[in-house]
Amino acid sequence: MKIRLSLSSAIIAFGEPDQLAAHGERLAQLRKDYDERKAFWVSSSLSADLKTALVSKSDAEVQKFWKSTEQLRSVVVRTVRDSAAAA
Protein backbone atom coordinates (compact mmCIF):
# COMPACT_ATOMS: atom_id res chain seq x y z
CA MET A 1 0.00 0.00 0.00
CA LYS A 2 2.67 2.52 0.98
CA ILE A 3 4.71 1.63 -2.09
CA ARG A 4 1.78 2.51 -4.32
CA LEU A 5 1.39 5.79 -2.47
CA SER A 6 5.04 6.64 -3.13
CA LEU A 7 4.80 5.94 -6.82
CA SER A 8 1.47 7.76 -7.00
CA SER A 9 3.01 10.78 -5.27
CA ALA A 10 5.74 10.97 -7.89
CA ILE A 11 3.28 10.62 -10.76
CA ILE A 12 0.74 13.06 -9.31
CA ALA A 13 3.45 15.69 -9.09
CA PHE A 14 3.29 16.00 -12.89
CA GLY A 15 -0.27 17.31 -12.58
CA GLU A 16 0.35 19.33 -9.43
CA PRO A 17 3.68 21.09 -9.80
CA ASP A 18 2.80 23.48 -7.00
CA GLN A 19 2.61 20.46 -4.68
CA LEU A 20 6.01 19.07 -5.67
CA ALA A 21 7.61 19.86 -2.31
CA ALA A 22 4.72 18.27 -0.41
CA HIS A 23 4.97 15.12 -2.54
CA GLY A 24 8.71 15.01 -1.91
CA GLU A 25 8.13 15.33 1.82
CA ARG A 26 5.58 12.50 1.68
CA LEU A 27 8.06 10.27 -0.15
CA ALA A 28 10.74 11.09 2.41
CA GLN A 29 8.36 10.20 5.26
CA LEU A 30 7.42 6.91 3.61
CA ARG A 31 11.12 6.09 3.19
CA LYS A 32 11.76 6.91 6.84
CA ASP A 33 8.83 4.70 7.86
CA TYR A 34 10.20 1.85 5.78
CA ASP A 35 13.70 2.23 7.24
CA GLU A 36 12.28 2.19 10.77
CA ARG A 37 10.25 -0.94 10.03
CA LYS A 38 13.29 -2.63 8.53
CA ALA A 39 15.33 -1.80 11.65
CA PHE A 40 12.56 -3.33 13.75
CA TRP A 41 12.74 -6.61 11.82
CA VAL A 42 16.54 -6.65 11.86
CA SER A 43 16.57 -6.39 15.66
CA SER A 44 13.67 -8.82 16.17
CA SER A 45 14.03 -12.29 17.63
CA LEU A 46 12.69 -14.03 14.54
CA SER A 47 14.39 -17.13 13.23
CA ALA A 48 17.25 -16.62 10.81
CA ASP A 49 15.15 -17.94 7.91
CA LEU A 50 12.36 -15.46 8.54
CA LYS A 51 14.79 -12.59 9.00
CA THR A 52 16.48 -13.46 5.73
CA ALA A 53 13.12 -13.45 3.95
CA LEU A 54 11.86 -10.26 5.61
CA VAL A 55 15.05 -8.28 5.61
CA SER A 56 17.58 -9.43 3.04
CA LYS A 57 15.44 -10.79 0.24
CA SER A 58 12.56 -8.36 0.40
CA ASP A 59 14.81 -5.38 1.06
CA ALA A 60 16.72 -6.05 -2.16
CA GLU A 61 13.46 -5.65 -4.06
CA VAL A 62 12.38 -2.64 -2.01
CA GLN A 63 15.69 -0.91 -2.73
CA LYS A 64 15.03 -1.34 -6.46
CA PHE A 65 11.67 0.34 -5.91
CA TRP A 66 13.20 3.27 -3.99
CA LYS A 67 15.84 3.72 -6.69
CA SER A 68 13.17 3.77 -9.41
CA THR A 69 11.02 6.15 -7.38
CA GLU A 70 13.92 8.54 -6.87
CA GLN A 71 14.78 8.42 -10.58
CA LEU A 72 11.15 9.14 -11.46
CA ARG A 73 11.01 11.95 -8.92
CA SER A 74 14.18 13.47 -10.40
CA VAL A 75 12.59 13.46 -13.84
CA VAL A 76 9.42 15.04 -12.44
CA VAL A 77 11.38 17.77 -10.63
CA ARG A 78 13.47 18.52 -13.72
CA THR A 79 10.41 18.59 -15.98
CA VAL A 80 8.46 20.88 -13.67
CA ARG A 81 11.43 23.24 -13.29
CA ASP A 82 12.09 23.30 -17.04
CA SER A 83 8.40 23.96 -17.73
CA ALA A 84 8.37 26.80 -15.22
CA ALA A 85 11.51 28.31 -16.70
CA ALA A 86 10.07 28.14 -20.21
CA ALA A 87 6.84 29.85 -19.17
Separation between Cα atoms, residue 13 and residue 5, nearest integer Å: 12
The residue count for the chain: 87
pTM of the model: 0.70
Reduce the DSSP state of residue 68 to 3 states and report it.
helix
Residue 1 pLDDT class (50, 70, 90 cuts): very low
Separation between Cα atoms, residue 37 and residue 23, nearest integer Å: 21
Query: What pLDDT digit, counting tens, does each position of 14-72 carry?
Result: 566 677 778 788 888 989 999 999 999 889 998 988 888 878 888 888 899 889 888 88
Domain residue limits, the chain = 2-86
